[in-house]
Structure 1
Amino acid sequence: MGDHSRYVILRDKNAALRKRATGEVLSEAAGGMPRVLAEAAGPQLGGGVGPLLPPGPELDSADLTANEAKDALRQNDVVGVVRAIPIALIAPRDMPADAAATDTWGIKVVRADVSPFTGAGVKVAVLDTGIDASHPAFAGMTLTQQDYTGEGNGDGNGHGTHCAGTIFGRDVDGQRIGVARGVTDAFIGKVLNSRGSGTSEMMFSALKRASEERVQVISMSLGFDFPGLVKYLVEQEDYPPDLATSVALEGFRTNLAMFNALMNMIRQQAVFDGGTVIVAASGNESRREIHPNYEVGASVPAVAEGCIAVGALQQGPAGLTIADFSNTNPDIAAPGVGVLSARAGGGLAALSGTSMACPHVAGVAALWWEAARGGVLPANASTVTLRMLASAALSGLAPGVQVADRGQGLAQAPVAPIS
């Protein structure tokens, strides 16, 4: 068994600063901020106009032994030290034979086609397999790309391109595919390679970068790969199966705690920049076609604190029903079967999965952000999240769709400013 493993170290510079600031007199010149905090504060917002932005979370990665990891955790500014674990694409599912694949029916059922909002002025992040930036669906957009996989920018899988197209894609050959096609600025974090694999280190780094990019919406159609970690430990590091399972469980638990800590630190920035709405696919592991009770709970990170977990809906003769594969206990639901969007390399393709439902909600969140900016309530992540969840519709759902399967209901685009 190897002595060294890859670890992720999360630091909160403010934690150490707060300790140093204890007992200090507040400085009027620092706007009421303890002097030591003010001195270390980050840049001002709006090009030097507005409040100082305190230091955000810091991430380091290193190959450490277990003892070295414990030592690192004793440092004053360290919030968490976790072993990096695999993450994996929430892979699309095969479409039912009668699934709609010739039009973007999801645009209509979330009401994006009748919303006066387009997502203009809202910045979105897509953490996925990258993007085909040359696709006509993204013409004229400012795409900031960052590769964390070592493959380089681009999308050798196609999943990220498809998801991005649903969120903000422009019309392709006269066919509308994007929910929020007024979005002009996006951060594309490539955290999954062409095989759909990555690590939690990549995801954490991309989340931090997205926060630094001041995005308002983050879309993630990925999950922690617990079986993949067990397999790696057994096959690559010669762990006995029982020990591999125990280590994987601990890695799963600690990485979830790390994710929650990072999300909490990002939320603390909301008082300065409004915060970020994080949308994640609930997962495709349920098998209702085998038995109605063959339901698997929403996966991590969708169920983590601060995320909006999205379930997938499909069309049926009596209305929208939950997709057989969609994991249970989402916060909200959206179209996820026979979703037509951009295909890497050009043209359009239809895919199914909660991965396809997630970008519908991310696009709707961008529309709600724009609506919030024209309303009377504070334009922040809390307002957008609460109004989006509260506006979810039950009309259009088939009789018998359970709350545990559809959450608050079908995501709906705003039709007026938030009042």
Structure 2
Amino acid sequence: MKRYITLKYEFQRRISKRELDTGVYSLVHARPLLSVENLSERAVSELKADPQIQMVVPTMPLRLISPVAGDSLSLTGNWGIRAVRADKSQYDGSGVCVAVLDTGIDTDHPAFAGMKLIEEDFSDHGNGDRNGHGTHCAGTFFGRNDNGRRIGIARGVERALIGKVLGDDGVGQSEMIFKALAWAMEQHADIVSMSLGFDFPGMITRLTEEGWPLTLATSTALEAYGSNLRMFDALMAVFKAQAAFGVAPLVISAAGNESRRDIRSDYRVAVSLPAGAEDVVSVAAVGRHDGKFKVAEFSNAQALLAAPGVDITSAWPGGGLRTISGTSMACPHVSGVAALWWQFLRETDIKPTARNVAARLISNARKNVFVPHTDEADVGQGLVTAPLP
């Protein structure tokens, strides 16, 4: 038997049999319910025939988007804060509830002093961060100053949801991220930041190590990838329906680090899941080059926006700082700027929603800051930019 994720909706109003049979009903009144269990092929077929079950998909591996080693600690702080102009913004994310779905967080780090951090472990490894990735991303997103050094974009955020969806080894299963997303919505997160990916190559490797023929392992992994994409899109559809009422988050995700432009300029791949799912803001990484910005060699293509992701200094478990690179580091820059825009809209009497904030991120992104001949497929709509006075 294989492990499967089942999705059904709990409706807040009575849904008629005809609505269930036809699938025509409003997701505004739906709450996603997810369960995970080992099922036989017969049990899967029976569940798929049940009109109350929306989807049954096999689980697949998750992994953090492994960072690239960076240069030694910068003495001038996080250059990315200046690049996105957060240092010139009058907004700090006050009143915005955010979520980070990653490897957990070091709650004792001085960068998070005075914050209300709500932890939930979906990995079975226990709360806390014994990897470092989650603490680093959270530090860039909303960390306070560390010994006078600014490391965070949205330093006014007071409430953060920390969903541990990856174990201490940086791996997990897809049901962890799905459950965490539903949890974040129920906890009224405004912005969700994710620097992780669905491990398609890892699934093939695991299956072949178990004796599966390569072609069969690849086909099985591809089926799981496609099924999990549909599951992600189904959850995002619920978010989109709820967003009009201001009760659904803007979801932001790293594009991935699988490209290899350092070997050949055309060795680049498109954004991976979950960044490639519907209505997710995908983020590419850029670094500094001759006074301009250049796409990172590892950054996946076709992302929606670009942000600083090379040599980013942020918090690390144990109270210190570390400099690393990756689209994982670019993602919380966009998440932090999104928190500033969320506050901006609220204070200008415009209802902040995922759609409205995403529109601001896109319309205010800059394209005149990149090196000549930059391909739009590498940087999307441009470099994310904070609201200015």
What TM-score range do you get, normalising by the shorter chain?
Answer: over 0.9
Q: Which amino acid aligns with 1:125?
A: A
The 5-angstrom pairing of residues 381-392 of structure 1 reads 381-392=354-365
Question: Could you list the per-position Cα deviations for residues 364-388 of structure 1 after superposition, in whole angstroms to 9, with x for gaps in the alignment?
Answer: 0011100111224332111100011
1 CA distance for matches of 2:98 and 2:38? 32
Q: Is the deviation greater in 55-64 or in 119-128? A: 55-64
* Residue of 279, 284, 302 corresponding to 2:257: 284
Residue 246 (structure 1) shift? 1.0
Alignment-derived partner of residue 225 in structure 2: 252
The 5-angstrom pairing of residues 191-340 of structure 1 reads 191-236=165-210, 238-340=211-313
Alignment-derived partner of residue 154 in structure 1: 128
1 CA distance for matches of 2:225 and 2:271? 15
Residue 110 (structure 1) shift? 0.5
Q: Which amino acid aligns with 1:325?
A: F
Compared CA separation, residues 217 and 171, structure 1 to 2 (3 A): same
The 5-angstrom pairing of residues 7-46 of structure 1 reads 7-14=4-11, 17-20=14-17
- Kept in 2, the 8 Å contact 1:391–1:412? The answer is yes
* Residue of 347, 366, 373 corresponding to 1:400: 373
Compared CA separation, residues 8 and 16, structure 1 to 2 (3 A): farther
Question: Could you list the per-position Cα deviations for residues 240-260 of structure 1 after superposition, in whole angstroms to 9, with x for gaps in the alignment?
Answer: 222111111100000000100
Residue 13 (structure 1) shift? 2.6
Q: Which amino acid aligns with 1:322?
A: V
Alignment-derived partner of residue 93 in structure 1: 68
Residue 396 (structure 1) shift? 2.5
Matched, 1:343 2:316: yes
Q: Is the deviation greater in 166-175 or in 377-386? A: 377-386
Structure (1/2) with the larger strand percentage = 2
Q: Which amino acid aligns with 1:8?
A: I
Compared CA separation, residues 21 and 297, structure 1 to 2 (3 A): closer
RMSD: 2.1
- Kept in 1, the 8 Å contact 2:246–2:352? The answer is no
2 CA distance for matches of 1:87 and 1:176? 31
Residue 135 (structure 1) shift? 0.5
Q: Is the deviation greater in 58-67 or in 349-358? A: 58-67
The count of residues paired between Structure 1 and Structure 2 equals 384
Partner SS state of residue 16, structure 2: helix
- Structure of higher CA gyration radius: 1
Q: Which amino acid aligns with 2:288?
A: Q
TM-score, normalised via structure 1 length: 0.88
Residue 269 (structure 1) shift? 1.6
The 5-angstrom pairing of residues 156-195 of structure 1 reads 156-195=130-169
Matched, 1:70 2:67: no
- Kept in 2, the 8 Å contact 1:16–1:76? The answer is no
Compared CA separation, residues 243 and 177, structure 1 to 2 (3 A): same
TM-score, normalised via structure 2 length: 0.94
2 CA distance for matches of 1:231 and 1:5? 17
State, as a whole percentage, how many aligned pairs show the same letter: 46
Q: Is the deviation greater in 119-128 or in 68-77? A: 68-77
Q: Which amino acid aligns with 1:275?
A: A
Question: Could you list the per-position Cα deviations for residues 208-263 of structure 1 after superposition, in whole angstroms to 9, with x for gaps in the alignment?
Answer: 10111110100011111011111222324x32222111111100000000100011
Question: Could you list the per-position Cα deviations for residues 289-324 of structure 1 after superposition, in whole angstroms to 9, with x for gaps in the alignment?
Answer: 111111111111101101011000100114111111
1 CA distance for matches of 2:32 and 2:285? 33
Partner SS state of residue 330, structure 2: helix
Alignment-derived partner of residue 54 in structure 1: 29
Residue 70 (structure 1) shift? 1.8
Partner SS state of residue 100, structure 2: strand
Matched, 1:126 2:100: yes
Residue 354 (structure 1) shift? 0.3
1 CA distance for matches of 2:329 and 2:92? 19
Alignment-derived partner of residue 27 in structure 1: none
1 CA distance for matches of 2:290 and 2:245? 48
- Kept in 1, the 8 Å contact 2:73–2:323? The answer is no
Partner SS state of residue 388, structure 2: coil
- Kept in 2, the 8 Å contact 1:57–1:266? The answer is no
Structure 1 unmatched runs, 5+: 23-36, 42-52
Alignment-derived partner of residue 354 in structure 1: 327
Residue 21 (structure 1) shift? 8.1
Q: Is the deviation greater in 7-16 or in 120-129? A: 7-16
